[in-house]
Chains A and B, each alone.
Chain A
Amino acid sequence: MRFPSRKGFTKDSLVTLLFVLPSLVLVGYFVYVLIGWNVVVSLSDWKGLTPSYNIVGVGQYITLFQDQEFLTSLTNNLILILLFVPSSLALGLFLAILLDSKVRGEGVFRNIFLLPFSLSYVITATLWLWMYNPKVGVINTLFQTIGLGFLQPGWITDPNIALVCVVLAIVWQFSGYTMLIFSAGIKSIPESQVMAAEVDGASGFNLYRRVIIPQLKAPALNAFVVLMVFALKVFDFIYVLTGGGPGYSTYVLPLLMFRNTFSMNQYAYGAAIATLLFLLALVIVIPYLYLSSRREKD
């Protein structure tokens, strides 16, 4: 609040305080106090139903990195990020380029591609349960109908490909979003630049590679951060689609955190995973916020 010294505490500054106070209190408590509280829980020995605040230090974190379930979940999370983020960016860019070619019915296609993104993960996971059902599901019966009956993968019931199946489904859900971001980026490139490049003989593939794609760094960064943070905290979708199975083949950190906390009352363990998730998110988000605040000033 800017309190002009000659006037002291004016009625206006009181109004300002009243304006932002409720939100500051809510966000201050429910975001920042709770993050701190969660760190305290992660440093305690709390198991079972009654809270215990015997602080035992960072032992929980050391245990984590010796725990096979944790290491498997962490690895799965990293594989998921490595497969999901580049695929969604690539497919989104591809769709945006297809739609940039003065297509008839552009709006209809755009709405179809974006539709899955607007739906709840519980819905999309339910849809993909039906898609992937190995006996009577959509894909395998479709394969039979079109003469690909010899292809009957077990999809999410096969531990070797279950994680890839999860990735395919969330790429389906997110590439409409990346398409949207890239489309807006392409539209913001001045027509004159594109025309100049065409006069110089660039066309089709070359036009995109030399002129358009290099100018999509900012939208790519925005989409990248959104995808990374999503892939880090992915929970609902996997909870409903595979529940982490078969075995531990699709377990990820948020799922491990949830199961340990709410099914097994391992509160300190769950809180430690949650703190790690928060730190990983900060590693992605802080540089991004720094970059975008600099861009805003320019």
Chain B
Amino acid sequence: MIIPKPRRIILYILLIFFAFVFLLPLWADVTTSFKTVHDLIYTVPMQPPLSPTIEPIITAFNTMKRPLMNSLAFTLAATILSCLLGSINGYALTKIRFRGSNTMFLLFSIGIFLPYQAVLVPLVLTMSKLGLYNTIAGLILTHTTYGITITTLLFRNFYGLIPDSLIMAAKTDGAGTWTIYRRIILPLSLLPFVVAAVLQFTSIWNDFLFGVALARGSEAIPASVALANLKGTTEVTWNVQMAGALWYALPILLIYLVLGKYLIRGYMAGAIKG
């Protein structure tokens, strides 16, 4: 398509305008995070700091340290577990196709779209009964369970592309279900594992609802809840709050920069943000 020149100029003006709008909140977060209280008063948020300081960054880290560690612990564990279970389910749904596999798939698909409010009250009761309320283990169990639905879908879609003839050949050679999974399916699974892991890590790390419902004390409180609580305390100034947001965003920004194309594949696979 060859578009006349004035049109190209308008096109770029629009693109740059939207890029500005999309980046403005993030830019203001970064500038504010490095400002002293003096600069907060004498500069507008968009301006870079007059005398940059890392004081707010350090203060925010000290407040958020434990919650960030908590989030890292349950996010990593639940990511690994939900990916392993999703891989096994995806294999069972595509290559074994047992009776009831269609029903299982439908029930899992509904689980993907489930508004978690619909299970929240009984979930809190269950976790209390199990002694898992306000524990990292409770959050691992919760995030793993609700993550399985989407990872199963991801692995199912991917394993659907592996030719059945490959499985048939292995079966003729006398390989059993487990051997086929370990020797044929798993070695072909690096890509779906990366896609599912990146997607799970970001959505579990970003969660707020389960965290605020299932964790109260410092033992298990996630970074999302800690950041939301920063807002409530009046002595916290904007620079510390913005620095807190920066700390909590850091792992996601790193993933976005390094593994962004896998995250996009996850979004494309019908991924739903909680």
**Contact surface of A with B, Cβ cutoff 8 Å:** 1-2, 11-13, 15-16, 19-20, 22-24, 26-28, 30-35, 37-38, 41, 51, 95, 98-99, 101-103, 109, 111-124, 126-131, 136-138, 141-142, 144-145, 172, 176-177, 180-181, 184, 198, 203-204, 207, 222, 225-226, 229-230, 232-233, 235-236, 239-240, 254, 257-258, 261-262, 267, 270-271, 273-275, 277-278, 281-282, 284-286, 289
Contacts and interface: CB of A to CB of B under 8 A. Distances in A.
B25 A24 contact: no
B208 A121 contact: yes
A274 B241 contact: no
A240 B244 CA distance: 14
Contacts of B119: 30-31, 34-35, 38, 274
Interface string B34-58: 0000001000111000000000000
Given A30-B146, A267-B121, 4 more contacts: A103-B12, A126-B231, A225-B113, A277-B118
Nearest to B10: A98
A58 B91 CA distance: 43
Given A1-B99, A30-B123, A281-B115, A127 B29 contact: yes
B88 interface: yes
A166 B28 CA distance: 19
Given A2-B97, A23-B148, A177-B267, A129 B85 contact: no
Given A12-B177, A32-B107, A229-B113, A130 B118 contact: no
Contact of B25 (A111, A130, A230, A254): A130
B208 A239 contact: yes
B188 interface: no
Contacts of B3: 101, 204
B144 interface: yes
12 contacts: A1-B98, A2-B97, A12-B177, A15-B178, A23-B85, A23-B148, A121-B208, A126-B242, A145-B44, A180-B264, A180-B268, A274-B121
A118 B263 contact: yes
A31 to B, nearest CB: 5
Contact of B228 (A37, A222, A239, A277): A239
Contact of B123 (A34, A109, A203): A34
B interface residue count range (under 10 / 10 to 19 / 20 to 34 / 35 or more) = 35 or more
B138 to A, nearest CB: 12
Contact of B149 (A27, A101, A103, A138): A27
Contact of A120 (B14, B23, B126, B224): B224
Contacts of A275: 118
A115 B176 contact: no
Contacts of B241: 126, 129-130
A138 B273 contact: no
B209 A16 contact: no
Contacts of A230: 272-273
B254 to A, nearest CB: 11
Contacts of B189: none
A194 B131 CA distance: 61
Given A23-B85, A120-B224, A126-B227, A51 B125 contact: yes
A142 B44 contact: yes
A34 B97 contact: no
Nearest to A225: B113
Contacts of B97: 2
Contact of B145 (A30, A123, A203): A30
B104 A24 contact: yes
A111 B260 contact: yes
B73 interface: no
Contact of B19 (A12, A31, A112, A126): A112
B213 interface: yes
Given A177-B267, A258-B117, A15 B177 contact: yes
Contacts of B120: 38, 257-258, 261, 274
Given A34-B122, A233-B116, A2 B99 contact: yes
A281 B109 CA distance: 12
A122 B145 contact: no
Interface string B183-212: 000000000000000000010011111001
Nearest to A126: B245
Contact of B118 (A35, A176, A225): A35
Interface in B231-264: 231, 238, 241-242, 244-245, 248-249, 252, 255-256, 260, 263-264
Residue of B19, B25, B117, B209 ringed by the most chain A CB atoms within 10 A: B117
B168 interface: no
